Amino acid sequence: MQEQFQYLPSQHTDGLSAFSARMKEFSYDKHAHEEYSIGVTRKGRQDFFSGGAYHKSNVGNVMIFNPEQVHDGCAGERSALEYEMLYIPQHTLMAMMQSLGQITPDQARLKQSLFHDEQLRHQVLNLSQMMRQPTLSALEEEAALLAIAQSMLRLGGGSLNAGHYHGRKDTLLLRAKEYILSNLDQKLSVDDICQAANMSKFHFIRLFNEQFGMTPHQFVLNCRVNRAKQALEVGDKASDVAIDLGFADVSHLNRKFKRVFGITPHQYQRQLHASDS
């Protein structure tokens, strides 16, 4: 087995990185990271010593190391081991947890390192996979990080905010929608939209999904595709449209446009010209 170790830094969040490892003979010395380290064992077994005890992480288990928490690691029984790990800056995760609810610094330092938590397992693997996609947006990454922060808040024993608003939720969500539509050509973040709507991040994401039937990221992408359609109808080039509306490139626009309309932007414009002749 060829041992592989691959780090992938985030393009949107300073200090965030995804790490994947395939190993068998290699073993880590005792060490500690400045960030939160949250990982999932995907194959084999990972053995490690931390917090004065030995641990064995089987497939599907979640490993969490607090910042500066000393640990080592190796493949259990020297069998092939594969795992994914996220390194999340302490200030980033703490700020997100505090935006979602109430948690003390002591609660944020989890007392155990090994968990069987299906929700967090899915969230970690989801973000790890997303970060390998060149089309990942800042909005999509932030929403995925917030989901992890909510799980960490739960595991730490914190409490979610009640979410009291100065106004009706549909009015606030309409304000968020209007802000999105007015800024489709800009890089949108959950922070920006929540500030415009005067809502907490957690309740905004949950209520937005209930109101509009899709996540904020999906809604933004759908609006950009529809705006692209309008631009194509007046003769704008697909390459210009992709840049103007925040798509990664023309291929990104092509894929998303076809998922909505069944044809590519070029095919759509060609059909428009055919109907005019």
CA atoms within 13 A on the CB side of 126: 15
pLDDT of res. 276: 61
Same fold, 4-155 and 219-276: no
CB–CB of 97/85 below 8 Å? no
Return the structure tokens found at 175.
Answer: 């304000």
DSSP 23-79: ESS-EEEEE--SSEEEEEEEES-EEEEETTEEEEE-TT-EEEE-TT--EEEEEGGG-
Q: Give the type of residue at 271.
A: Q
Which two three-digit tokens encode residue 234?
Answer: 């007046």
CATH of domain 219-276: 1.10.10.60
Look up residue 149 and give its two tokens: 């922060």
Distance CA 83, CA 24 (A): 12
Q: What is the pLDDT of residue 148?
A: 95
Distance in angstroms (rounded) separating the CA atoms of residues 27 and 45: 13
- So where are the chain's domains? 4-155, 161-213, 219-276
Question: φ and ψ at 63, to 5 degrees?
Answer: -105, 130
* pLDDT on residue 204: 82
Confidence at residue 169, expressed as pLDDT on a 0 to 100 scale: 67
Digits of tens for pLDDT over the chain (277 positions)? 688 999 999 988 999 999 999 999 998 999 989 999 999 999 999 999 998 899 999 999 999 999 999 999 999 887 899 999 999 999 999 988 887 778 888 888 999 999 999 999 999 999 999 999 988 888 889 889 989 998 999 998 877 665 554 456 678 888 889 999 999 888 888 888 988 888 877 678 778 877 888 888 888 888 999 999 999 999 999 999 999 998 888 999 999 999 888 899 999 998 887 766 5
For 76, which DSSP code? G
Q: Which CATH architecture has domain 4-155?
A: Sandwich (2.60)
